[in-house]
C-alpha cells in the first residue's frame, strides 16, 4: 500500500493535535495506578474506559454520519471490528502489566510500537523493510532486553528472571504488538471513514470484547465508590477520548509510521508524572535509562528513509 497522500488541509495542525494527544495519554498510567490501588481489576478498568468512550462517540456518529455507517462494506466492518479487538487486547495486556512492573518499564516497552508497525508493513501495507528499519529493530530489541533483565535483577528473583517484573514487561510488549495492528488497520480505514464513524465502531468493538472477558472471569463491573467511578470516567475522557482520538484523527493526514513514532513522548511524560505524583522510580534506574535510550535511538533510526 502506498503512502497516504494528504487530500485536504485541516483547520488545525496535525502536529499540534498529536502534541495534545501525547499529553493526554501520559496521564493514563497514573490514573490506572490509582484505580488499581482501589482493587479494581485491570480488565474492568479497560472495559469501562472503552465503554464510556463508545457511549460518547456512538450517538454523535449516528447523528452526523448515519448514512456512512449504513453504507460501510462488510470488509470495512470486519476490519474496524478487528481493530477494536486489537485495541481491547492492548488495554487488557498493557494495563495489567502495570500491576507487575514499573510505570517507566511498562510505558517504554509498550511504545516500541513503531518497530512492530515496520515489521508488519511488508506483509500488510506492501512496504519493504529498509536497512535503517532493520538496525532500529535490533537496537530496540537490545534495549527491551536490558530493561527486562534489569527489572529481573532488581526484583531479587534472578532464578526465574524476576517473576512478576518479567511477566509485566512481557505484557507491555504484547500491548505494543496489538496496538501496532490497531494502527495499521486505522491507517487503511481512516482514509475512507470519518473520525466519528471509525472511532465509534472500533471503541465499541473493544468494549464488547473487554466486557465479555470481564463477565466470563466473573469480575464485578459495578459496586465501586464514587472516587473509583470518577477515575474510570477521567480515564475515558482524557487518555482515551482526547488522547487516542487525537492519534486517530492525525492518521488521516500523516503516515501511520510517523504517528506511531510520536507515541514515544508517552513514557517520558508518564515517567515524569510517576516520579512527581507517585514518587515512583524505575525498578532499576540505570538499566531503565540505558534501555530506554537504546529503544528511542532504535525507533529514530527506524523512522529514517533509506
Residue 4 within a domain: no
Average the pLDDT over each of 35-49, 80-94, 122-136, 225-239 and give the range with the smallest value.
122-136
> What is the DSSP code string of 162-183?
TTHHHHHHHHHHHHHHHHHHHH
Residue 106 within a domain: yes
| pLDDT value at residue 102 | 75
Average the pLDDT over each of 205-219, 231-245, 289-303 and give the range with the smallest value.
289-303
Q: Note the pTM of the prediction, 2 decimals.
A: 0.74
Residue 207 within a domain: yes
Domain count of the chain? 1
Cβ burial of 278 (10 Å; 0-12, 13-18, 19+) is middle
Q: What is the pLDDT of residues 212-231, one digit of tens each?
A: 999 998 999 999 999 999 99
Residue 184 within a domain: yes
Residue 7 within a domain: no
pLDDT at residue 156 tops 70: no
| pLDDT value at residue 229 | 95
| pLDDT value at residue 22 | 84
| pLDDT value at residue 160 | 41
> What is the DSSP code string of the chain?
-PPPPP-S--SS-HHHHHHHHHHHHTTHHHHHHHHHHTT--HHHHHHHHHHHHHHHHHHHHHHHHHHHHHH--HHHHHHHHHHHHHHHHHHHHHHHHTTTS-HHHHHHHHTTHHHHHHHHHHHHT-----HHHHHHHHHHHHHHHHHHHHHHHHTT-GGGTTTHHHHHHHHHHHHHHHHHHHHHHHHHHHTTS-HHHHHHHHHHHHHHHHHHHHHHTT---S---HHHHHHHHHHIIIIIIIIIHHHHHHTTTS-HHHHHHHTTHHHHHHHHHIIIII----SSHHHHHHHHHHHHHHHHHHTS--
Q: What domain range includes position 271?
A: 14-302
Residue 89 within a domain: yes
Cα dihedral 285, 287, 293, 298 in deg (nearest 10): -150
Q: What is the rounded distance in angstroms from the CA atom of residue 14 to the CA atom of residue 16?
A: 5
Q: What is the pLDDT of residues 105-125, one digit of tens each?
A: 777 788 778 778 777 777 776
Q: What is the pLDDT of residues 128-140, one digit of tens each?
A: 667 877 787 788 7
* Cell of residue 238, nine digits: 482524557
Amino acid at each position: 500500500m502506498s503512502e497516504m497522500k494528504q487530500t485536504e488541509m485541516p483547520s488545525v495542525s496535525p502536529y499540534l493535535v498529536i502534541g495534545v494527544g501525547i499529553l493526554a495519554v501520559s496521564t493514563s498510567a497514573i490514573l490506572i495506578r490509582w484505580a488499581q490501588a482501589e482493587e479494581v481489576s485491570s480488565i474492568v478498568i479497560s472495559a469501562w474506559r472503552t465503554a464510556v468512550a463508545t457511549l460518547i462517540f456512538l450517538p454523535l456518529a449516528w447523528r452526523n454520519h448515519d448514512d456512512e455507517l449504513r453504507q460501510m462494506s462488510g470488509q470495512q466492518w470486519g476490519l474496524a471490528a478487528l481493530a477494536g479487538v486489537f485495541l481491547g487486547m492492548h488495554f487488557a495486556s498493557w494495563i495489567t502489566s502495570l500491576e507487575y512492573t514499573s510505570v517507566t518499564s511498562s510505558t517504554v516497552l509498550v511504545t516500541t510500537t513503531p518497530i512492530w508497525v515496520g515489521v508488519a508493513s511488508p506483509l500488510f501495507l506492501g512496504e519493504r523493510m529498509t536497512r535503517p528499519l532493520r538496525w532500529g529493530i535490533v537496537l530496540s530489541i537490545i534495549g527491551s532486553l536490558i530493561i527486562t533483565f534489569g527489572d529481573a535483577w532488581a526484583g531479587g528473583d534472578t532464578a526465574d528472571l524476576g517473576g512478576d517484573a518479567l511477566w509485566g514487561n512481557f505484557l507491555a510488549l504484547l500491548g505494543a504488538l496489538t496496538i501496532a495492528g490497531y494502527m495499521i488497520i486505522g491507517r487503511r480505514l481512516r482514509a475512507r471513514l470519518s473520525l466519528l464513524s471509525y472511532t465509534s465502531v472500533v471503541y465499541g468493538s473493544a468494549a464488547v470484547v473487554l466486557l465479555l472477558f470481564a463477565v466470563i472471569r466473573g469480575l464485578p463491573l459495578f459496586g465501586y465508590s464514587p472516587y473509583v467511578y470518577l477515575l474510570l470516567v477521567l480515564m475515558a475522557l482524557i487518555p482515551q477520548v482526547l488522547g487516542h482520538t487525537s492519534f486517530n484523527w492525525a492518521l488521516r493526514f500523516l503516515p501511520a509510521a510517523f504517528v506511531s513514532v510520536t507515541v514515544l513522548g508517552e513514557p517520558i511524560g508518564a515517567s515524569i508524572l510517576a516520579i512527581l505524583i507517585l514518587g515512583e522510580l524505575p525498578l532499576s534506574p540505570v538499566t531503565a535509562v540505558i534501555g530506554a535510550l537504546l529503544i528511542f535511538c532504535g525507533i529514530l533510526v527506524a523512522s529514517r528513509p533509506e
